[in-house]
A and B are shown apart, each in its own frame.
Chain A
Amino acid sequence: MKFGVVRFPGSCDDVDALQAALRVGDAVMLWHAERGLHGVDAVIVPGGFSYGDYLRAGAIARFAPVMEAVSEFAREGGLVLGICNGFQVLCEAGMLPGALLPNPSLRFVFRQVSLEVVHADSPFTRACEPGQRLSIPVKHTAGRFYAPDDQLDALEASGQVLLRYTPGHNPNGSLREIAGVCNEERNVFGLMPHPEHAVDPLGGSVDGLRVFESMRAHADDRVLA
């Protein structure tokens, strides 16, 4: 399985995402100005400050040439994972519901948080048990997940909320403690916490690996099918 990690000017977690992906498969970088995806089986839009986060986080990056290819890849059912700034980009691009608002504290938060796996029946969480707790760090200034109430109801009803902050761990005032959501087709997923920073015991937790292992398992199944 080959992962592709998008690199925008201002990305800063691209190398960690690449290294995390390399633990479960092959991985290459995808430059923002390219239109091709080099035959990858999954795309990761990593964290950072794409295009300086000018205007709004993710607002400019969604118009990068590579994003057109990523959007088409997703329409065809390809797996797309957006982490932190990548989540913001996918929301701005309309590939995921909702928006990420500034933290109510107006401060950058950087801490280890505890997450609950709400649904383990997705390509991004299938290596987890439902209800399992994951310890993964967050680090962002605009991570408050927002969607109108009726849309939040619909997201919960259709099982699109895959990860929640556990009680007392919501670092940014996200509505309904939402840490990660997927699209209706369940092949595009975004989360504010950084699974790529929790893949080595040296970092204090390897729980982030579950996300990459899930994607690997999904890709393996598709090859067999």
Chain B
Amino acid sequence: MRARVLVRPKAGILDPQGQAVERALPALGFAGVRNVHVGRLIELDVEDPERLPEMCERLLSNPLIEDYEIVT
């Protein structure tokens, strides 16, 4: 089964990449953009999708600083 894992910085954790993108967009004339966050997309084929949360918690994300979302 094809799965996607989205990994984001946890709310409240400084996200300098998101801030840099948020500052860059108005410089190109794109006004009205807020709350930009930059994370990671991991795509994988997995035989047993029930094991995905464990994979996310043990390797794909660091639960102390990141949230993950599994999209199957």
Q: Which residues of A contact B65 (CB under 8 A)?
A: 99, 101, 146
User: 1/0 per position for A70-105, CB-CB distance to B under 8 A?
Assistant: 000000000000000000000010000011011111
Are A55 and B59 in touch, CB under 8 angstroms? yes
Are B64 and A98 in touch, CB under 8 angstroms? yes
Are B16 and A103 in touch, CB under 8 angstroms? yes
C-alpha gap A104/B59 in the complex (Å)? 24
Q: Which residues of B contact A101 (CB under 8 A)?
A: 13-14, 65
With both beta carbons as reference points, the residue of chain A lying nearest to B14 in the complex is identified as: A104
C-alpha gap A29/B13 in the complex (Å)? 37
- Chain B stretch 12-31: residues in CB contact (< 8 A) with chain A: 13-14, 16-17, 20
Q: Does A106 contact B (CB under 8 A)?
A: yes
Q: Which residues of B contact A210 (CB under 8 A)?
A: none
Are B17 and A106 in touch, CB under 8 angstroms? yes
C-alpha gap A74/B48 in the complex (Å)? 34
C-alpha gap A178/B60 in the complex (Å)? 26
- Chain A stretch 144-164: residues in CB contact (< 8 A) with chain B: 144, 146-148
User: 1/0 per position for B55-72, CB-CB distance to A under 8 A?
Assistant: 000011010110000000
C-alpha gap A173/B19 in the complex (Å)? 15
C-alpha gap A104/B17 in the complex (Å)? 8
Q: Chain B nearest CB: distance from A164 CB in Å?
A: 19
C-alpha gap A8/B62 in the complex (Å)? 21
- Chain A stretch 37-96: residues in CB contact (< 8 A) with chain B: 55-56, 59, 63, 92
Are A102 and B64 in touch, CB under 8 angstroms? no
Are A147 and B64 in touch, CB under 8 angstroms? yes
C-alpha gap A56/B64 in the complex (Å)? 13
| Highest count of chain B CB atoms <10 Å: which of A55, A103, A106 | A55
Are A102 and B17 in touch, CB under 8 angstroms? yes
**Residue from B13, B16, B20, B59 within 8 A of A59 (CB atoms):** B59
**Residue from A55, A63, A148, A173 within 8 A of B14 (CB atoms):** A173
Chain B residues at the A interface, C-beta cutoff of 8 Å: 13-14, 16-17, 20, 59-60, 62, 64-65
Interchain residue pairs with CB less than 8 A apart (27): A55-B59, A55-B60, A56-B62, A59-B59, A59-B62, A63-B59, A92-B62, A98-B64, A99-B64, A99-B65, A101-B13, A101-B14, A102-B16, A102-B17, A103-B16, A104-B14, A104-B16, A105-B16, A106-B16, A106-B17, A106-B20, A144-B14, A146-B13, A146-B64, A147-B64, A148-B64, A173-B14
Q: Please give 10 more A-B residue pairs, beta carbons under 8 A apart, in addition to A105-B16, A106-B20.
A: A59-B59, A99-B65, A101-B13, A104-B16, A106-B16, A106-B17, A144-B14, A146-B64, A147-B64, A173-B14
Give the top 4 A-B pairs by smallest Cβ distance, nearest first. A104-B16, A99-B65, A99-B64, A106-B16
